[in-house]
Amino acid sequence: MNDKIKVLIVDDSALMRKVLKEIIMTDDQLEVVGTARDGQDAIEKVNELMPDVVTMDINMPVMDGLTSMQHILGNFPELPVIIVSSLTNEGAMTTFEALELGAFDYVAKPSGTVSANLHIVGREIILKVKLACNNADKKNIRDRVLRCNNKINQRKSVPANHLDFVKNNELSKVVVIGISTGGPGTLMEVLPVLPPDLRAAVIIIQHMPPSFTTSFAKRLNDACRFPIKEAEAGDVLKNGRGYLGAGGYHLVIRGESGILRLPTSPKTIFMPSVNVTMESVLDTYGGKNVIGVLMTGMGDDGADAMVKIRNAGGVTIAEDESTAVVYGMPREAIERGGAEIVLPSYKIADAIIKAVGKS
Count of residues in the chain: 359
Q: Strand, helix or coil at 243? A: strand
* Amino acid identity for residue 139 in this structure: K
Query: Residue 129 pairs with which residues in a beta bridge?
Result: none
CA–CA distance, 271 with 247 (Å, rounded to integer) = 6
Give the CA distances from residue 118 to residues 91, 256, 315, in Å, rounded to whole numbers and listed in that order.
16, 45, 42
CA–CA distance, 129 with 113 (Å, rounded to integer) = 20
Q: Strand, helix or coil at 51? A: coil
Question: DSSP state, 158?
Answer: P
Residue whose C-alpha is closest to residue 7's, from 28, 27, 25, 33: 33
Catalytic residue, chosen from 12, 68, 85, 207, is 207
Residue whose C-alpha is closest to residue 205's, from 281, 277, 303: 277
Give the CA distances from residue 328 to residues 42, 180, 303, in Å, rounded to whole numbers and listed in that order.
31, 10, 10
Residues 43, 71 contacting (CB under 8 angstroms): yes
∠ CA 9-11-12, rounded to 5°: 145
Catalytic residue, chosen from 115, 180, 280, 345, is 180
CA–CA distance, 305 with 69 (Å, rounded to integer) = 37
Catalytic residue, chosen from 105, 301, 320, 345, is 301
Known catalytic residue: 207? yes
Residues 109, 20 contacting (CB under 8 angstroms): no
CA–CA distance, 316 with 338 (Å, rounded to integer) = 7
∠ CA 29-34-36, rounded to 5°: 135
SS3 of the chain: helix, strand, coil, percent, to 5: 45, 20, 40
Active site residues: 180, 207, 301
